[in-house]
Amino acid sequence: MTALIRSTRGELLRLYRWPALWVLAATWLTLNVVFGYVFDYIAYRTGDSAGPNTGVPGEELLAGVLPDAVPAVLVQGMPMFGGAILMILGALAAGSGYGWGTWKTVLTQGPSRPAAVGGTVMALATVVLGVVLGTAAVDLGVSNALALAESRPVDLPPAGELLEAVSVGLLVLGMWTTAGMLLGSLARSPALAVGLGLVWALVVENLLRGVSGLLGGLAVVTDHLPGTAAGSLVGALGASGQSGGAPGVLTILPGTTALAALATYFVAFTAATLLLIRRRDLA
């Protein structure tokens, strides 16, 4: 336990001083605000509902950027964009250790491999928690500002709904982060791991879902892929109703099934990363 704590503290210090962490976090927060609030509010103010807002009444657009809609807005971008960004972070955190030679140094002079990998997982979990809570705080601040600007009552969302959305966000982003760790460990290269992860999350899964109806039995597989499970869990919170729906938000799986699938993926990705690093020669 002492080795795990020390490893976690060391990884947190490394991530804290790593510019890539802050660039990725800022990118996600910017995307969340722009696609969750800015575009919808501009469409409401101008009366132009082109694009994904086609046919959406102005009052519905405004309702989607007010404080009581924060739980849905918080998670609607996580299955695709947020997940891809956190997967990049996981791939960089694990893959860079091979390119820089830090894994070899740590594991030959420092803690055991389970403690080292566990420390990385705990550090990344802390980062994910900070990202989700930071996103919630930003969304609450922006939505309150818009409500005041439009002279609308500031009706905060119920605490239970907000807590549920935060929990879903933690699981979705945590699953994608551990997927990135596994890819980084498999490829031993941050660039290759990032490329493979983005192709899978943004292209391959969407293509497989598109052709699942043409091949018998393929739908059983595609309905339980990581992106499908993440999108379905977010869709179960009602995020798909925001401005006609967000990319990656699905309603294929029931909420409980999607929750179980995400938890299984999270455990499987973490265990596979640990097993791979334990059995692999780092030379």
Greater confidence (55 vs 10) lies with 10
> Does residue 242 carry a pLDDT above 50?
no
pTM for the model: 0.90
Looking at residues 109-115, what average pLDDT do you find?
A: 74
> Does residue 257 carry a pLDDT above 50?
yes
Condensed to tens digits (0 to 9), the pLDDT of residues 10-25 reads 889 988 999 999 999 9
Q: How far is C-alpha 144 from the geometric centre of its chain's CA atoms?
A: 24
DSSP 68: G
Q: Which spans in the chain are helix H?
A: 2-16, 19-33, 39-46, 58-63, 70-76, 83-99, 102-109, 113-149, 159-187, 190-199, 205-211, 218-222, 226-235, 255-279
Name residues whose C-beta falls within 8 Å of residue 280's C-beta, 6 or more positions apart in sequence: 185
Looking at residues 185-207, what average pLDDT do you find?
A: 87
Condensed to tens digits (0 to 9), the pLDDT of residues 87-101 reads 999 999 888 877 777
> Does residue 240 carry a pLDDT above 70?
no
**Confidence band of 133 (pLDDT split at 50, 70, 90):** very high
Looking at residues 93-110, what average pLDDT do you find?
A: 77
Q: Rounded to an integer, what distance in angstroms lies between the CA atom of residue 266 and that of residue 263?
A: 5
Q: In the prediction, which pLDDT does 67 show? A: 93
**For the chain, domain boundaries:** 2-279
Asked if residue 87 lies in contact with residue 205, where contact means CB atoms within 8 angstroms, the answer is: no
Looking at residues 74-95, what average pLDDT do you find?
A: 92
Instruction: Tell me the pLDDT of the chain averaged across its residues.
Output: 86
Greater confidence (254 vs 103) lies with 254
Q: In the prediction, which pLDDT does 216 show? A: 65
Query: Does residue 251 sit in helix, strand or coil?
Result: coil
> Does residue 182 carry a pLDDT above 80?
yes
Looking at residues 170-199, what average pLDDT do you find?
A: 91
Looking at residues 212-233, what average pLDDT do you find?
A: 83
